[in-house]
Structure 1
Amino acid sequence: MIGLWTAYSQDFLLWLAIGTTLVFALPIFCVPLLWARLMGWAIPRETHLAIYFGRCLGAFILIVEALMLRAALTGEALLFTYQVLAAVALLMILVHIYGALRRIQPLSETLEIGFYSGMLLVTLLCWPL
């Protein structure tokens, strides 16, 4: 299973980078509270900490996006980028399962378990050999 679609490893990264940059990274980095509202989160009265953490998370997502874009366009650090991507997917699955079990997140976040599980599966299928 691992690497079954290796020929598409760079194409997958390019499309994933474009999609996740537009849907996650830029909105979380630029307008974290608007993104949170759209995802169904209740916004606290005091928002400075939420904005700070949102921008920090967005910054780290942008780093992963840059890794994916570089590997997609040049092939440089392709295996490393896939290792990072698999780690991100696995940890995000765990984070979202925890939130779902504790019932401390909106439905949209629980549904992301499926997104990250699918991302992990396609990451493994496209793994560069």
Structure 2
Amino acid sequence: MVGIWGTESSLFLYILVFSTFFVFALPMFLVPLRWAAVLGWEIPAQGNLSIYYGRCLASVMSVLCYMGFVAAGNREVQPFYFNILLGCFGLMVIVHAYGGIRRIQPLSETIETGFWLILFFCGLFFYPI
């Protein structure tokens, strides 16, 4: 199961980092509150902290996307990068499932739990062997 599509790991990374950067990281960096509203979050009257954390998260995502682009072109570093991805995806499953169980997030975020689980398994399937 692990690495069954490992020969296509570079293609997986290129698609993943391109889509993640343009669909998640860049919008979250440029317009974090609008991004949150689209997902159904209630926007606080004082939004400075939300803007700050949104941009911090988007900055980390942008760096991870850049490093994923580098890893896509270098099979020697891909296992290291895939381990980071699997850790991120696994923790995102836990965070989103917890928020859904506690009912402290919009429905879109709870549904997103499945998205992160799919990405986790894709990370396993495309793991470079």
Q: Partner of 1:79 in structure 2?
A: 79
Percent of residue pairs identical: 43
Normalising by structure 2, we get a TM-score of 0.96
Deviation string, structure 1 residues 9-68 (Cα, Å, up to 9, x no partner): 010000011111111111111110010011110000000000000000101111111121
Question: Aligned-pair distance for 1:74?
Answer: 3.4
Greater CA drift, 58-67 or 42-51: 58-67
* Consecutive unaligned residues in structure 2, runs of 5 or more: none
Normalising by structure 1, we get a TM-score of 0.96
* Consecutive unaligned residues in structure 1, runs of 5 or more: none
Question: Aligned-pair distance for 1:76?
Answer: 4.9
Question: Aligned-pair distance for 1:73?
Answer: 2.6
Q: CA RMSD in A?
A: 0.9
Amino acid at match of 1:72: A
Matched, 1:115 2:115: yes
Q: Partner of 1:53 in structure 2?
A: 53
Match of 1:56, SS state, is helix
Matched, 1:11 2:11: yes
* Structure 1 runs, 4 residues or longer, greater than 4 Å off: none
CA distance in 2, matches of 1:109, 1:115: 10
Greater CA drift, 32-41 or 67-76: 67-76
Q: Partner of 1:65 in structure 2?
A: 65
CA distance in 1, matches of 2:74, 2:26: 23
CA distance in 2, matches of 1:3, 1:86: 13
Mapped contact 2:82–2:127 kept (Cα < 8 A)? yes
Mapped contact 2:75–2:128 kept (Cα < 8 A)? no
